[in-house]
């Protein structure tokens, strides 16, 4: 645990123990960290999983790489340093949501291994679930839902992951989710089943 | 809505409408923004309210001014600019929690009116509840739970709110919570009753 900038702060204990919170809400929080190229399907899958969880009355929320940049991280760009700070902040927020007992999905390219490992390191053991949304770049480029690959190939977007900036694939992700040739529902069901297997969500 | 730094991002729609989420979770989110001097009782009251809500099975969470500085905002100090950025980020996170249908309490000194108004401005209408924890500085200094006033009076803490830095009291808070001569339970009950009155929590 790194030290904050000021020494004149102390910890506040919450009145509620983690186990009490889990029992009160009948829920266990975790971070489903989806990582993959632009267009790989991260957000679409994350939102479908959220929907499945809400249908079960489970507290779930998606932190979205694109959306959050209009709020918390609107001061950040796409340089390596800003990408790192982007992921750091999201990781801290995801950790808070998980601590609050939400199944928290995050949908960010998060191209750097070190940044993802940093988030893993701050999360309580077993609560960080790295999901490699493994879609070949050719497939992502074919989908190109926002026309970004086209722009990137034309040199209009600097530092575009997979084109002019690196993507470091996870080495030991909890889940490798192959999306090519599969439906969103199939992929979402695979994640939901994982959550049930691990006891984050009750079956049925 | 201010524009983010990059233009190459687009909004993702969530699959779940707000009303559907509220119905699925039987919950309505809001931000209970507690503001007041150090030692005024913000955190203590916020945690007690959280406990009361969890006892009712309601999703609730406290963002704490001291604690969050070990995580999300550990890069920030106590200069005016850093205090503003501190509150900006917390406001964005609180907004996300409220969007997720949590009753989100924040316990920050948040001494600048403009910073608090900025958070109010980004929250959907009616979901930002400013709670002025109105404890006279003499009382705060008498409590001095962390010995900070003592240090500040000795000149050991620069820019300490109420001593060597300003506190701008709210002009039109939703709630003024007088704590002198009252118990934590009385103050927490007042907030809970407000939430019930406004329909954020069901009675009983």
Across the interface, of B14, B71, B100, the residue whose CB is closest to A95 is B71
d(CA A25, CA A22): 5
- For position B69, what pLDDT does the model report? 86
Whether the CB of B146 is below 8 Å from some CB of chain A: the reply is yes
Q: How many domains does chain B have?
A: 1
Do A72 and B96 make contact, defined as CB atoms within 8 angstroms? Answer: yes
pLDDT of B1 reads: 34
Please give the average per-residue pLDDT across B37-54, as a whole number. Answer: 95
Q: Would the ipTM clear 0.85, i.e. be above it? A: yes
The answer to whether residue B108 sits within a structural domain is: yes
Give chain A's mean pLDDT.
90
Tell me whether residue B34 is in a domain.
yes
Burial class (CB in 10 A: 0-12, 13-18, 19+), A139: middle
Q: What is the torsional sign of CA B96, A96, A64, A41?
A: negative
**How many residues in total does chain B contain?**
204
- Out of A15-24, A167-176, B8-17, B194-203, pick the least confident: B8-17
Question: If you measure CA to CA, which chain A residue comes closest to B17?
Answer: A51
Joined together, the tokens standing for residue A30 give 């975790």
pLDDT tens digit string along A2-34? 444 544 444 355 667 889 999 999 999 999 999
**b/e B33-70 (16+ beta carbons within 10 angstroms → b):** bbbbbbbbbbbbbbbbbbbbbbeeebbbbbbbbbbbbb
pLDDT at A11: 39
Which residue, A154, A164, A102, is CA-closest to B59? A102
Residue B183 lies in a domain: yes
Of the given ranges (A5-9, A191-195, A198-202), which has the lowest mean pLDDT? A5-9
Helix, strand, coil in percent for chain B, rounding step 5? 40, 15, 45
Task: Average the pLDDT over each of B25-29, B34-38, B67-71, B153-157 and give the range with the smallest value.
Answer: B67-71
Tell me the pLDDT band of B17, cut-offs 50, 70 and 90: confident
* Residue whose entry in the numeric block shows the structure tokens 């969500």: A201
pLDDT at B79: 83
Helices (H), ranges, chain A: 18-25, 42-55, 80-99, 113-122, 137-143, 148-153, 184-197
Decide: A195 and A56 in contact? Cβ < 8 Å: no
Q: How far is A123 from chain B (nearest CA, A)?
A: 11
- The answer to whether position B184 is within a domain reads yes
Residue A57: its chain B contacts at CB < 8 A? 24-26
From chain B residues 50-89, the ones with a CB under 8 A of any chain A CB are: 50-51, 54-55, 57, 59, 61-64, 66-67, 69-78, 89
Asked whether residue B90 is domain-assigned, the answer is: yes
Residue of B nearest to A26 (CA): B57
Instruction: Please tell me the predicted confidence (pLDDT) of residue B9.
Output: 45
**Out of A2, A110, A164, A183, which one is annotated catalytic?**
A110
Asked if residue A3 is part of any domain, the answer here is no
Q: What pLDDT shows up at residue A201?
A: 92
A vs B, Cβ pairs < 8 A, gives 150
pLDDT at A107 exceeding the cut of 90? yes
The answer to the question of residue B10 being in a domain is no
Q: Is A110 a catalytic residue?
A: yes
Q: Is the pLDDT of residue A35 over 80?
A: yes
- The whole-angstrom separation of Cα B4 and Cα B106 is 25
What pLDDT sits at residue B66? 62
Contact B135, B41 (CB under 8 A): yes
Question: Mean pLDDT lowest for which of A48-62, B11-25, B85-99, B173-187?
Answer: B11-25
Q: Is residue B21 part of a domain?
A: no
Of A54-68, A106-120, A145-159, the range with the lowest mean pLDDT is A54-68
Give one DSSP letter per residue of A153-174, joined into a string.
HTT-STT-BTTTB-----SS-S
For residue B14, report the phi and psi dihedrals to the nearest 5 degrees.
-80, 150
Q: What is the CATH number of the domain that holds B158?
A: 3.40.50.300
3-class SS of residue A90: helix
Contact B18/B98 with Cβ under 8 angstroms? no
Domain span including residue B183: 26-197
Chain B CB contacts of A3 below 8 Å: 74
């Amino acid at each position: 645990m790194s030290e904050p900038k000021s020494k004149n702060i102390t910890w506040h204990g919450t009145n509620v123990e983690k186990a009490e919170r889990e029992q009160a809400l009948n829920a266990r929080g975790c971070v489903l960290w989806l990582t993959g190229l632009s267009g790989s399907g991260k957000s679409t899958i994350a939102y479908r999983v959220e929907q499945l969880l809400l249908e079960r009355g489970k507290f779930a929320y998606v932190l979205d790489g694109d959306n959050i940049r209009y709020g918390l991280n609107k001061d950040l760009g796409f340089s390596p340093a800003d990408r790192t700070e982007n992921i750091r902040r999201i990781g801290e927020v995801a950790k808070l949501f998980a601590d609050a007992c939400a199944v928290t999905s995050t949908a960010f390219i998060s191209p750097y291994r070190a940044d993802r490992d940093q988030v893993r390191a701050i999360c309580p053991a077993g609560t960080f679930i790295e999901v490699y949304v493994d879609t070949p770049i050719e497939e992502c480029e074919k989908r190109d839902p926002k026309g970004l690959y086209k722009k990137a190939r034309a040199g209009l977007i600097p530092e575009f992951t997979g084109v002019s900036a690196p993507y470091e694939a996870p080495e030991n992700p909890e889940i490798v989710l192959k999306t090519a040739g599969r439906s969103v529902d199939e992929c979402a069901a695979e994640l939901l089943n994982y959550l049930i297997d691990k006891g984050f969500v009750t079956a049925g």
